[in-house]
Amino acid sequence: MSKIYKNCQSCGIPLKKDPQGGSHNADGTKNTMFCSYCFENGQFKQPDFTVDQMKQLSKEKMVEMGFPKFLAGFFSKSIRKLERWK
Ligand SMILES: [Zn+2]
């Protein structure tokens, strides 16, 4: 059984807030680790991103989703602990 993640393991946004309802693997099955902003059809959408670039994108997305800026900033600080950046 695969681990269930609450947050995207690339950008940290809550997966249930993903407007696409999550991303997909290359074979069309659902990917439970990454959101549709970061990952689709088995590939990262921003394969060359650094942690800092991802922090910036994540912050913007979270503010777009209606999260307060301070919370988005707080969230983005934990991004480097996510699976993609280990
Ligand atoms: Zn993501």
Taking only the tens place, the pLDDT of each residue in 37-51 is: 999 999 999 999 999
Give pTM, 2 decimals. 0.89
- Provide the percentage of residues in the chain whose pLDDT is more than 90: 81
C-alpha 20 – ligand 1 centre gap (Å): 11
C-alpha 66 – ligand 1 centre gap (Å): 16
Which residues lie across from 40 on neighbouring strands?
A: 43
What's at 6, amino acid-wise? K
Sign of CA dihedral 84, 74, 6, 23: negative
Residues with pLDDT less than 70, the chain? 1-2
- Cα–Cα distance measured from residue 58 to residue 55, given in angstroms and rounded to the nearest whole number: 5
Angle at the Cα of 63 from the Cα atoms of 60 and 66, rounded to 5 degrees = 155
